[in-house]
Amino acid sequence: MVELCRGHGIKLKSKPDRRDEMTGRCPFHRDRDLSFVVIPGKNLFYCTHCRAGGGALDFVVKAEGCDYHVAAEKLLATLPFPERNPLHGANP
């Protein structure tokens, strides 16, 4: 989740009081505060201001304005072995 967010230009910092969370500026609204929270251990994100949240699939849908099918294909394309992915029509 951290790599996905950083790949979309979000600068994340570790929270000093919660080492299991990272914060940054939310990409879904004009954010002056660090209201965007990422929980790497759970692969989740949440904005305390606009209340956007979810997992990697939800993030891609919202960040790129696509549907879930397209978002799933984009995430699958980032896997190290796309040739083994049954959605690509290749045999394992």
Is there a contact between 64 and 71 (Cβ–Cβ < 8 Å)?
yes
Q: 41-75, pLDDT tens digit by residue? A: 999 999 999 999 999 999 999 999 999 999 999 99
User: Domain spans of the chain?
Assistant: 2-81
Distance CA(73)–CA(89), nearest Å, equals 13
Assigned architecture for domain 2-81: Alpha-Beta Complex (3.90)
Overall pTM surpassing 0.85 (yes/no): no
Angle at 2 between CA 43 and CA 22, to 5 degrees: 85
Distances (CA, A) of 22 to 10, 14, 28, 30: 11, 4, 17, 19
Distance CA(69)–CA(78), nearest Å, equals 15
Q: 39-49, pLDDT tens digit by residue? A: 999 999 999 99
